[in-house]
Homo-oligomer: A and B are copies of this chain.
Amino acid sequence: MSLELSLNLATVRMQWKLPQAVEAAARHGFSGVAPWREMVQETGITESARIFKANGMRVTGYCRGGLFGAGGRSNFQAAIDDNARMIDEAAAIEAEGIVVIGGGLAPGSRNLADARAMFVEGLAAVLPHARACRIPLALEPMHPMYAADRGCITTLREMLDIADTLGNDGLGIAIDTYHVWWDPQLRLQAARAGKRIIAHHICDWLVPTKHMLTDRGMMGDGVIDFPAIRQIVEAAGYHGIQEVEIFSDYWWGRPGDEVLATAVERFKRVCQEPG
């Protein structure tokens, strides 16, 4: 009996390469995986697609696109081209979408408005190809602590404004608990997102957080109220699969099977909507 749970493969990237990680996910009852591009490229696209199929795994998201302005204006077209290739790869592995993030400031830049404008411009440039390939782009707002170096689009509200500006067709929204749990507008903006929500990632916020990137928490070990956020997401109209994605030096240092068993147990115990 498989769970409505997907495994973002970054969660066990230090333990396993793609083939082993996917087999382990299947063994632990996950019904999907979300692979990162480096892992797919290492294994090969055709072989990766075969592995997903052989293990009966959905591919809930391909990580990660966007970041259009992060290389500056001189690398802008290259970023667009790279996102277009990524769409082809996503189609080849039959991914249900691509996770797209804002990207940080261009080297030497202090202009967030520029970074944001380039993100919108880049997105507009690749969107026709994404639509043609029927690969939805799941726009993921990132926690504001990543605004400078990873995700210049930090709030659901801002991501939805961008999706509205571009007409929404071919675009969706990814809600990651780690990135949005603090947002006083979470309920309001999730309701606004409605059926546009196409991904729900789960990961806990630890107190204290010892490293900004690699000290994310297993569900239940931190302060995020997962049932409350699931309720918000379901009320908005998304009843689909959840995806566990944890960047953690601690969990990367544990046996992969322990990580997956823990994630499954916590998902069942901590992450369900109440009632």
Mark A residues whose CB is within 8 Å of B.
104-105, 109-112, 116, 143-145, 147-149, 153-155, 157-158, 181-184, 205, 207-209, 212, 222-225, 228
Contact = CB atoms under 8 A, between A and B. Distances in A.
Contact of A143 (B105, B144, B208): B144
A205 B143 CA distance: 15
A184 B154 contact: yes
Contacts of A110: 223-225, 228
Copies in the complex: 2
A232 to B, nearest CB: 12
A185 to B, nearest CB: 8
Given A105-B223, A110-B224, A223-B105, A148 B184 contact: no
A182 B149 contact: no
A148 B105 contact: no
Contact of A223 (B116, B145, B148, B157): B148
Q: Which of A182, A209, A212 has the most CB of B within 10 A?
A: A182
A164 to B, nearest CB: 14
Contacts of A104: 207
A148 B207 contact: yes
A229 B109 CA distance: 15
Contacts of A149: 207-208
A182 B223 contact: no
